[in-house]
Structure formats: structure tokens, C-alpha cells
Structure 1
Amino acid sequence: MTQHLTILTGASRGMGLEMARQLLQPGHTLITLSRQPSGQLHAPEGAQLEQWAQDLADGAGAARRLRDWLAGQQAGRFASATLINNAGVIPRIAPLSDSDAADLANALRVGLEAPMQLTAAFLGATEGWAVPRKVLNISSGLGRKAMASQAAYCAAKAGMDHFTRCLALDEAAKPHGARVCSLAPGVIDTDMQVQLRGADASDFPDVQNFANLKAGGMLASPAGAAARVLAWLQRADFGANPVADVREA
């Protein structure tokens, strides 16, 4: 059976885990990259799953591993190839002046550097594949709106948006370039939201706003958000706007 290939980062929890579950359908091969494999993921008959234990703080190592794996695949094995850069971290919530240098570096490595390195490896290794290719970067509204005590996360997502714009120009100039999009998935009820709601108000002026989102039932479930993101990936006009938001649909 010809398989559709998807590579997904940050698949061990939250929306990433739900995307992985929904992608594991007959006719699909899923490669996940997370610090720890998930015991909740199982491939049904007709699907294939590989879980790579990979710390994306070492983006260069992850990119080498991905490039080598892709280079070893037989021509014609896959009917399509997609990379979803989903992983991200929020460092300790605090003003930049009170932030730890190593913590900031880790957030930028995982949230921006690794996606760029993985995207370069994916597109370079598959450039000769005569199949549709896509790159979906999971961004955030905070990449487009400044927020106090969130400098590293906002910067990583803003950088993701802008490198996707540049990438879209690169790929549009090629005869069979990939389609790319940096997509904000909306506000989701994940561990990241718990972290934001639990921050000290003296460090995080917006803490009450996040508490109100939870109290008002305004957070999407991880499964619902995953379904909307994957539906966007299948749109006929995917990539027409390289920076988008699911709430624009």
C-alpha cells in the first residue's frame, strides 16, 4: 500500500498527541519526535508508526536524523510528505530582566531553531520526490500580539511566522515547491494554559485573562483543536496565505 508520510514534533501530549491519534489511519505512516515516546499511540492495521525519542533542544541532531531517514526511503514509497512543527515550550513566566539565559536559549531552540532546521532537512531530502509536500508550522496568536513576561515564547512564534513567509517565497520559485503555512490553532485547554493560569500575578499581568478563558469555557479541547488544524492542512488553498489562523475559516 502506498502510504502518506507525516512527521510530527511534540506528539506526546496536548494537541500534538491528539493530532497523532487522528493521523494514525490506514494508509498513513507517522513519525513522531518527542522527548519521550507516548504509550497512548498505537498504529491500526494499514498504518505505520515510529516514535523517535528526540530532544528538540538539539535541533541539529534531530535534523540530521530526519535527513538520513528520508534519504534511506525507496522512491515511490510515499504518495505525499508532510512536516508538522508543533513542539514548543514556555520558559519560566517572568519579565525578561528576571529570566534565566539557559531557559531562554532552550525556548528559542525548541520553538524556532529546531523547526527551521527540521524544515530545511525535510525539504532538502524530499526535493526530488514527485509527490505533494507540505510544511505546517503551529504558531500562536502570541506571535502576532505582544504580551508581558512572554518575550521568549512571543519571539519564537513571531520568528516562526516570518521564516514561513520567507520559505513560501523560496518554494514558490521552484517548479514543484512545497506548500507552507504557519497556523495559529486558537486557545486550547492544555498544560501550557495551566502554566499560564498558575503564574504569579506580580510576574504576569495577564494571568487573570487566562483564568477567565478557562472559567468562561472558552478553551478548545485538544482533540477539537487537532481536528481543525488537520482540516486546515487538507484545504485546497493550504499555503495560499503563509500565515493564518484557524479562526479565520
Structure 2
Amino acid sequence: MKYAIITGASKGLGEAIAKRLIHEQIAIVSVSRTENEEIKRMALEKGLYYNHFSCNLSLEKEVQEVFMDIAHCLFQKDPKEILLFNNAGVIEPIQTVGNLDQTPTIRNIQVNLIAPILITNLFFSKAQLTNTKVQVINVTSGAAIRSIEGWSVYCSSKAGLNMFTQTAALEQAEMKTDNKIIAFSPGIMDTNMQETIRSSSKNAFKELERFKEFKENNMLLQADVVANALVDLVISGNVESGKVYNVKELVGE
């Protein structure tokens, strides 16, 4: 059986990914600070394995402990494949360099970059001892390849995630494992993150009005459309390990 681990599964893209995977009869491990009861109900109605783990991804000790528990739960079931969606992310701080606050800056790097590195490392390590294939999907951003004033920390953490993805893919290919790792840029979606962006200060974020216009002109992608495109790719068997995919390539925009 296939199992999927989704960080940030309680809302937005993570929630949409979980719902689509349930329709594909894939078991769900939800990781977020609050549990999404609808996902739980859907999985149980389908008779699928479901488990939820609460985790603060900005605390590396908690990340290690929680994901060790998850790995123990899943690998003892001898799964055919584990899909690991490192989806959770934070955009804050939205501020210019020279005015950054230390706490949200560190949290951003912890959640967006360090947590996916630690989680991927753990699951690739465990996979070496089993017959289970691990496929990692790191949710990145167009900001990884474009400098945006006020987003220095977010741009940097996502650029780091892209490079980690590409490097880990090279290593897995060299070791001739069946594991794969990709990054996926979901575009500009109608989620809570966009609400945070639109509520930021014009002084801190030069492109504020442009992002407000995305919402006003209905230019934001719906999370379920993005999730369907991503899941179609992941379950197709045609994933190119190390590639940074963009949703525009997958939905034909």
C-alpha cells in the first residue's frame, strides 16, 4: 500500500492534496498543529489508514521526535511506497533587510528549509534498510528564482530548498536507489498565505498593490486545481528526480 505524509495538511494546498490522495485510495498521515476533521472523516469513510501528528516545524527537536514516530509507524507496515509532501511553509517576515526581526527570520528558515532537510534525511535513511520507495515532494516557490523586495528570507529559504532537492536527487541517483525527490512551485494560490501578503506594509513590500490586484481580478489559482495537477504528476510514475516543476507546466497556463 502507498502512504502519504503531508506537512501543513490542515488547510490550503496541504488539505487539497490530502483530499485528492484519499480519492486515490492512498493512506494519509497528516502533520500540522491542528487536525482537519474533514480529512479524517473522508479517510475513515474510505476505510483508509489515517493518522494525525501535531508538530511545530520550527522546533528541530520536535521535528526529529515526531517524524521518528511517524517513520516507526509506517515502515513497520512494509509499505510499497511513501510519498512525503514537505508542504508547510511560512512567508513572514515580510520586511526589508536592516529591519528584520530575529525570531520570525529564524522560524522561516526552520520551517521552510531545515525541517524538510531533516525529514527527508530521516526517511531516506530508513528507506536504505527496507524495500520501501520514498518519493519526496518539496513545495517551493517562484520566489526561489526571483528576488522580491521585502521577501529576502522567504526567497532565500526556498532557493535553498531547490538546491537541496537537486543535490539530494544526484546523491540518490549515484547510490542507485529507487527514491525520488522533486520540488514543485504551486504558483499564486488563493490561500491564507496570500491574505498575509496582502495585509503587509507597503513600506516593507514594494509589490503589495500588484498582489492585491491578483485577488481583485480573480487571478489566483484554486488550491484544488494545483493539488490535482501535482498529484497527477506524482502518481504518473514519470517524475524526473531533481527537477523543479512549475504548476504552469502542468495545468497548461
| TM-score interval for Structure 1 and Structure 2 normalised by the shorter chain | over 0.9
2:16 counterpart letter in structure 1? E
2:79 counterpart letter in structure 1? F
Give 1 or 2: higher helix fraction: 2
Aligned-CA RMSD value: 1.8
1:217 counterpart letter in structure 2? N
Instruction: Calculate the TM-score normalised by the size of structure 1.
Output: 0.92
Give ranges in structure 1 of 5+ residues lacking alignment.
none
Matched, 1:19 2:10: no
Q: CA deviation at 1:76?
A: 5.9
Q: Secondary structure at the match of 1:78?
A: coil
Q: Secondary structure at the match of 2:80?
A: strand
2:150 maps to: 149
Q: Distance in 1 between matches of 2:101 and 2:24?
A: 45
Q: Deviations over 1:92-151 (max 9, x none)?
A: 321121111011001110110000000001111122332432000000001111100001
Q: Distance in 1 between matches of 2:204 and 2:24?
A: 47
Q: What are the within-5 Å matches in structure 2 for residues 1-249 of structure 1?
A: 3-25=1-23, 27-41=25-39, 42=41, 43=43, 44-71=45-72, 73=74, 77-249=78-250
Give ranges in structure 2 of 5+ residues lacking alignment.
none
Q: Secondary structure at the match of 2:98?
A: helix
Matched residue pairs, number? 247
Contact 2:3 2:79 in 1 (8 A): yes
Contact 2:9 2:15 in 1 (8 A): yes
The runs of 4+ residues in structure 1 deviating greater than 6 Å are none
Q: Distance in 2 between matches of 1:237 and 1:59?
A: 33
Q: CA deviation at 1:185?
A: 1.1
Instruction: Calculate the TM-score normalised by the size of structure 2.
Output: 0.91
Contact 2:22 2:46 in 1 (8 A): no
